[in-house]
Amino acid sequence: MAIIGIDLGTTNSTCCAWKGNELLKIPNALNSFLTPSVVGIDDHKTIIVGQTAKERLLTHPDKTVAVFKRLMGSDHKVKIASNSYSAPELSSIIIRSLIEDAETHLDEKVTEAVISVPAYFNENQRAATKLAGELAGVRVRRLINEPTAAAMAYGLNRRQEGTFLILDMGGGTFDVSILEYFSGVMEVHASSGDNFLGGEDFVQAMIDDALVKLNLRKEELTSKENHLLYLQMESLKNRIDQVDRETLQIQVGDEFVDFKVSQQWFSTTITPLLLRVRTPIQMALNDAGMHAQQIDEIILAGGATRLRQFRSMVAKIFGRLPFCDIDPDTVVGIGAGIQAGLLEKNRALDDIVLTDVCPYTLGIEVVDENGKPGQFLPIIERNSIVPVSIERRVYTTQNDQKFLMIKVYQGENRLVEKNVFLGFVNVPVPKSKAGIESVRVRYSYDMNGLLVVDVTVESTGKIFNKVIENAPGMLSDAEKQSSLKKLEKLKFHPRDDQKNAQLIAKGDRLYTSSLGEVRNQIAMAISNFERVLEKQNKVQIERAQKEFSDYLEELDKEGHF
């Protein structure tokens, strides 16, 4: 019986657990702490997850999917092979594979989990994340905000008191949190963010710019060529500090087009995205009522904060260098692991209490004095400390009104149509004149950032808390069961075999992305490796694995893919 902490990322996921008196980072079957958030189905109709699936994105784009975290909380489904999956279902597959890793490593059953979410995730997205955990067969004890998790990791590591500003830029989301740590209390003052700003957007900006410069349209390239371009740009982004000037060869049809890149080009391309970083920072500072000078330390989390350009931008805003001594890729996972330890009442952690805030304003739709519908009435203001419970009273507006429709919204605009719709509760009220009957709407926001709405009819005293129907991406119990059944049927790739599968997938990818003589060599190497596998001799396989993996690594470096 263990609780694990899971960082369910856009690009990579990690998982950590608290065992004894220390934190354990849990490696996956390929012995890496990072599992790419990629899901695929292989030729034998078994599910593959992580690096192996990632390698197959190029060779089997129709059977593999990545960056689906961005669809969380929406109604969209993704079709891979012949089945359609929703984003929570795909996420649950990732979580399941992480749990499997944890169970192998900890040698005990995992029944509960803490899952991290971007601080700026809205209700629908949080609910979808919780659902993903449930579909994977664990109880989600807590959803923890990613920047808060990062702060916990740092707070525990250094035990230094003060006020911190955490910038968390991962693959898909950017979060800002301001928090204070003193005598065992970790208090979040404000959170803000941008749900569509991350490493993936940098790569996309590079691709878009290259296509414009080459006078090409995305539709003119095949999906394979598009993905090849994506891989080239991604790899360029990761090694941009070592690049001065370089010419990329971009495949268009049967030809190769030269595209000159440089650090200067990269900086120019991502500047519009970097500029978007300021908005959430400013908002968080305003909401916390602080100046940039009052922040003691700036802490970075998330892989995209490795970019030199990002760091120098932050340095320009604050006039000093940000701080980052825990690996930004795993720091959120570590924080989630610590939270898991806290929930287990681990004695080593007993002295920390965490308080968080809700990042959005929550309210209902009302009619204003002039009879204009569609106005937003805030009930819980953004950055209120959670848990919080607030009640407002609303009245009927028509004579003989039979029902009061409570529509729940989240957002900052005065008009509801520009905010996020979360669902509604329809409450019957006794007939009377307009403005006589009233209901009390109580919003309770718990530690997980999940909302409960209670509506009490004043005159009858009846309470309605049948919460939130019709929210996008939500499932009824029956749907949940059928979804669970569907997922149970899936066969997973055998764990021992994962290394071999990943190597072959990588070989396939390199084969597709190279040409001529090299191609034949790769094909040769793959078939040799497969022959060794057939012999099922453990010692030979291990040796062949090593050789084959080194060979591919070498190719990967040369080819810049």
Partner 1 sequence: MSVWEALAIQQTLSVNEIKNAYAKQLKNCRPDIDPEGFQVLHRAYKEALRIAHEQNELNSKSSRDSEQVYIDNSKLVDEPLKVTENQEVEKTIGSVAYTEKLNQEYQNYTRIITEVLKNTKTRNDISQWKFLFKSDCILDPQFNEELGLFVIENILAINNDFQNLTRHKKRYSLPDATVREETVRYLDTIFYWRGKVQNLRYYFGDDDTVKILNMLDEYDQNIDEISAIKSVKGGEVKEKASQRVDEARAFSEARDALGELKNITYFTHGIGILVLLFSINTLMEKQVPSEIAFSSTFFILFIIQLVGVTIKNRYILYTMWPTSCLLLFFFPIGTFLGVRMGLCLSRGLKYFRYAR
By the rule CB under 8 A, 438 interacts with partner 1: no
Q: How far apart are CA 88 and CA 84, in angstroms?
A: 12
By the rule CB under 8 A, 413 interacts with partner 1: yes
Q: How many CB atoms lie within 10 A of CB 110?
A: 23
Q: Whose structure tokens read 């979360």?
A: 422
Taking CA atoms, 212 is separated from 135, 257, 267, in Å, by 42, 13, 17
By the rule CB under 8 A, 156 interacts with partner 1: no
Among 21, 45, 139, 185, binds partner 1 (CB under 8 A): 185
Q: Whose structure tokens read 């991962």?
A: 170
**Residues in contact with partner 1, total (CB under 8 A)?**
68
Among 217, 316, 347, 485, binds partner 1 (CB under 8 A): 316
Among 201, 287, 365, 437, binds partner 1 (CB under 8 A): 201
Q: How far apart are CA 53 and CA 43, in angstroms?
A: 12
Q: How far apart are CA 246 and CA 236, in angstroms?
A: 10
Beta-bridge partners for 19? 22
Tell which positions 85-124 bind partner 1, by CB under 8 A.
none
Q: Which amino acid is at 523?
A: A
By the rule CB under 8 A, 538 interacts with partner 1: no
Quickly list H helices, 259-393.
263-275, 278-288, 308-318, 331-343
Q: How far apart are CA 263 and CA 445, in angstroms?
A: 46
Measured from the CB atom, the residue of 353 and 523 that comes closer to partner 1 is 353
Least Å distance, CB 428 to partner 1, is 28
Of 167, 113, 166, nearest in space to 3 by CA: 113
Among 4, 167, 386, 404, binds partner 1 (CB under 8 A): 386
Taking CA atoms, 274 is separated from 199, 241, 264, 285, in Å, by 11, 17, 15, 18
By the rule CB under 8 A, 66 interacts with partner 1: yes
Residue 413 DSSP SS3: coil
Residues 6+ apart with CB under 8 A from 373: 365, 367
Measured from the CB atom, the residue of 224 and 519 that comes closer to partner 1 is 224
Among 24, 25, 30, 67, binds partner 1 (CB under 8 A): 67
Least Å distance, CB 84 to partner 1, is 6
Least Å distance, CB 433 to partner 1, is 36
Measured from the CB atom, the residue of 385 and 523 that comes closer to partner 1 is 385
Of 1, 25, 3, nearest in space to 342 by CA: 3
Measured from the CB atom, the residue of 183 and 242 that comes closer to partner 1 is 183
Q: Whose structure tokens read 């071999």?
A: 500
Measured from the CB atom, the residue of 36 and 133 that comes closer to partner 1 is 36
Q: Are 143 and 126 in contact (CB under 8 A)?
A: yes
Tell which positions 334-373 bind partner 1, by CB under 8 A.
353-355
By the rule CB under 8 A, 260 interacts with partner 1: no
Burial class (CB in 10 A: 0-12, 13-18, 19+), 282: middle
Q: Are 244 and 261 in contact (CB under 8 A)?
A: no
Residues 6+ apart with CB under 8 A from 159: none
Among 126, 227, 407, 499, binds partner 1 (CB under 8 A): 227
Task: From 179-187, 399-407, 434-442, 502-510, give the range in contact with partner 1 by CB under 8 A.
Answer: 179-187
By the rule CB under 8 A, 308 interacts with partner 1: no
Among 216, 248, 388, 436, binds partner 1 (CB under 8 A): 388
Among 129, 269, 361, 396, binds partner 1 (CB under 8 A): 269
Task: From 238-246, 311-319, 449-457, 497-505, give the range in contact with partner 1 by CB under 8 A.
Answer: 311-319
Q: How far apart are CA 532 and CA 366, in angstroms?
A: 70
Least Å distance, CB 31 to partner 1, is 25
Measured from the CB atom, the residue of 282 and 514 that comes closer to partner 1 is 282
Least Å distance, CB 301 to partner 1, is 19
Least Å distance, CB 274 to partner 1, is 6
Helix, strand, coil content of the chain in percent (nearest 5): 40, 30, 30
Measured from the CB atom, the residue of 123 and 201 that comes closer to partner 1 is 201
Q: How far apart are CA 335 and CA 315, in angstroms?
A: 25
Residue 546 region, left (φ>0) first, then alpha (ψ -120 to 50), else beta?
alpha
Tell which positions 38-57 bind partner 1, by CB under 8 A.
38, 40, 57
Among 2, 16, 47, 71, binds partner 1 (CB under 8 A): 71
By the rule CB under 8 A, 238 interacts with partner 1: no
List residues binding partner 1 (CB under 8 A).
38, 40, 57, 60-68, 70-71, 74-80, 84, 172, 182-185, 195-196, 200-201, 204, 227, 230, 267-269, 271-272, 274-276, 278-279, 282-283, 309, 312-313, 315-317, 319-321, 353-355, 385-389, 413, 418, 420, 446-447
